[in-house]
Chain A
Amino acid sequence: MAFDFDVIARSLPYLWKGFRYTVELTAIAATGGIFFGTLLALARLSSVKPLALAAAGYVNLMRSIPLVLVIFWFFFLVPVLVQGITGAERPPQIGAERTAIITFIMFEAAYFCEIMRAGIQSIPKGQVYASYALGLTYGQTMRLVVLPQAFRNMIPVLLTQTVILFQDTSLVYVISATDFLGAASKVGQRDGRLVEMYTFVAVVYFVISVTLSHFVRRLQKRIAVIR
């Protein structure tokens, strides 16, 4: 049987759309995940016990169930939740793409929480004492002293997690969202060229992931020197 890699060139605009969605989903999920993950980490480390327990419960729940399950679960759950909040007559049509964004932010927040928690705990207690002794409040201490350092120390780990996230976003395929893999899959099924399409997708994921991982390793060395 003959391969027809020309199918890739022909469907490039459609694939590009899917790829853009993958990158967008990765970027938004990483940003949102780090933001909420940091809040979760602060909650987990809080001296207010109920807050710490609630955050720990959420994180452990998310980390204990498979991502595919969460994607399915939220796909059906989110519309119902939105209906409950807004009081609409029937569940609103949110769409697979937007559900995926919400799901990934919530799921990744749990993983980024653990990274940020480790980052915060890696900052010596003396930094906090020094900040308090200089007259700063808890909020200022976190914002100006602890989080910038925790974030800087954890950048390599955060990026590594983001590379994993970049690959995991392909799972939105299960709710028929058209990401890069979804687009390639649709083209491949339409034209009967699945092997060519999947090969192409694999090469793209490989090149991007390897490049990013290499960049992360170099960054890690630089940060280690400064620290």
Chain B
Amino acid sequence: MSASPPLPETILDVRDVSVAYGGHAVVRGLSFALRRGAIGCLLGPSGCGKTTVLRAIAGFEPVRSGEVRLKGEVVSAPARLVPPEKRRIGMVFQDYALFPHLTVAENVAFGLRGLARRERDARVAEFVESVGLAGHAHKYPHELSGGQQQRVALARALAPQPDLLLLDEPFSNLDIDLRERLGQDVREVIKRTDTTAVLVTHDQHEAFAIADEIGIMQDGRIEQWDTPYNLYHRPATRFIADFVGQGVLVPGAVLNGREVEIELGTLTGDIPRMCEIGCDRCGRGCQVDVLLRPDDIIHDDASALKAEVVRKAFRGADILYTLRLASGREVLALVPSHHNHAIGERIGIRLEADHIVAFPPAAGPDEARVAA
């Protein structure tokens, strides 16, 4: 039996970090680590402390407790703050922060001041080209479009070949079309240069498009650090279920270790341990709230189960229907758009979910509905 290849070295190690402004803790006991070449993302609503974490990693913000290690070296700790310019980091800012008085080439060359001229010119040409701006090297930032400026910012941050690249809401100033495309491009450039990166954003599509691992933050803590797939399909808390994607929580009764009965039928699959919080064992009769994603409900004219169309949102390929069940409860269904039904019409639906996401029942009925 051959030994498995060694894991890449840990580049970034954030251990139990807290940051406070005055007496107010903004980040509390936050930990995560990234290996070489990984793209991590801190995702959360505004005010959750994600940008503060990024600034602490960059060295712009001291930490109150815990430590930040870059390639094993402690760069931030309560009694230690290695200045940003000594950290070998690259940073892409929300407003790009390009130097308006310098050309594209001069911007990219800015972090290469230690290199010999010939080497520097070669590196600038390489990175300007790698972001697809070969013909624009002598333009000034104000002569470029927003997307092009964003690429310059990326090239500038990557050119010194930093140990770690930090991206602070890098696409929030771009229109949605461009965001998606640039997101893919950015991921490709980062992967090609084998750079380790941390992205901060409030936009989950952006996070999913770029990151390998995502930490969802709330109130200065990471609620769940996982792959995009697991965050969507295996949310650890109600907050994650609410924040990621769309869906509705509906009450259900556990039948046995693998089955839960809800209004739409019986769901089969492993019942995650979350329901243990609400009851001693996941035994018969235990009440849970089950997460139903819009793609868990299939439109089927042959089905005996009917629901009334309350709202519809046309999305091109699909229509997102809001359906009212017999009990009055509303659920979401994503249906191919050639199944075009009018509001008020009753359509046949069927449950088709291959796994169960369940939480202890919420205190009040208002909490049953999440994420419209």
Mark A residues whose CB is within 8 Å of B.
Answer: 124, 126-127, 129-137, 140, 144-145, 148-149, 152, 226-227
Contacts and interface: CB of A to CB of B under 8 A. Distances in A.
A129 B91 contact: yes
A82 to B, nearest CB: 41
Contacts of A134: 85, 90, 110-111, 156-157, 160
Contacts of B60: 129, 132
- When A and B form their complex, which 3 residue pairs have the shortest distance between CB atoms, in order from nearest? A134-B111, A126-B97, A133-B91
Q: By CB atoms of chain B within 10 A, which of A126, A136, A137 has the most?
A: A126
A141 B111 CA distance: 11
B257 interface: no
Contacts of A136: 85, 110, 113
Interface residues of B, number: 28
A226 B142 contact: yes
Contact of B95 (A124, A144, A226): A124
A131 B98 CA distance: 10
11 contacts: A129-B91, A132-B60, A132-B85, A133-B90, A133-B166, A135-B85, A135-B86, A140-B113, A144-B110, A226-B140, A227-B100
Contacts of B275: none
Contacts of A135: 85-86, 88, 111, 113, 160
A133 B89 CA distance: 6
Given A129-B60, A132-B83, A136-B85, A226 B91 contact: no
Interface in B86-108: 86, 88-91, 93-95, 97-101
A126 B51 CA distance: 13
Nearest to A135: B85
A86 B164 CA distance: 57
Contacts of A127: 97, 99
A55 B84 CA distance: 28
B100 A130 contact: no
Given A132-B83, A134-B110, A148 B101 contact: yes
A227 B140 CA distance: 11
B231 interface: no
Contact of A152 (B86, B98, B101): B101
Which of A124, A129, A136, A137 counts the most chain B CB atoms within 10 A? A129
Contacts of B110: 131, 134, 136, 144
A149 B140 CA distance: 14
B12 interface: no
Contacts of B94: 126
Given A133-B58, A134-B156, 5 more contacts: A126-B97, A130-B99, A133-B85, A134-B111, A136-B110
Contacts of B84: 129, 132-133
Interface in B6-26: none
A145 B99 contact: yes
Contacts of A145: 99
Contacts of B85: 132-137
Nearest to A128: B97
Contact of A126 (B93, B111, B156): B93
Given A124-B95, A126-B97, A149-B101, A133 B157 contact: yes
Contacts of A131: 99, 110
B166 to A, nearest CB: 8
Contacts of B101: 148-149, 152
Contacts of A227: 100, 142
Interface string B287-299: 0000000000000
B156 A124 contact: no
Nearest to A133: B91
Contacts of A137: 85
Nearest to B114: A135
A80 to B, nearest CB: 44
A126 B170 CA distance: 13
Interface in B107-146: 110-111, 113, 140, 142
A207 to B, nearest CB: 33
A107 B302 CA distance: 91
Contacts of A149: 99-101
Counting chain B CB atoms within 10 Å of each CB, the highest count among A124, A134, A136 belongs to: A134
Contacts of A226: 100, 140, 142
B83 A130 contact: no
A1 to B, nearest CB: 58
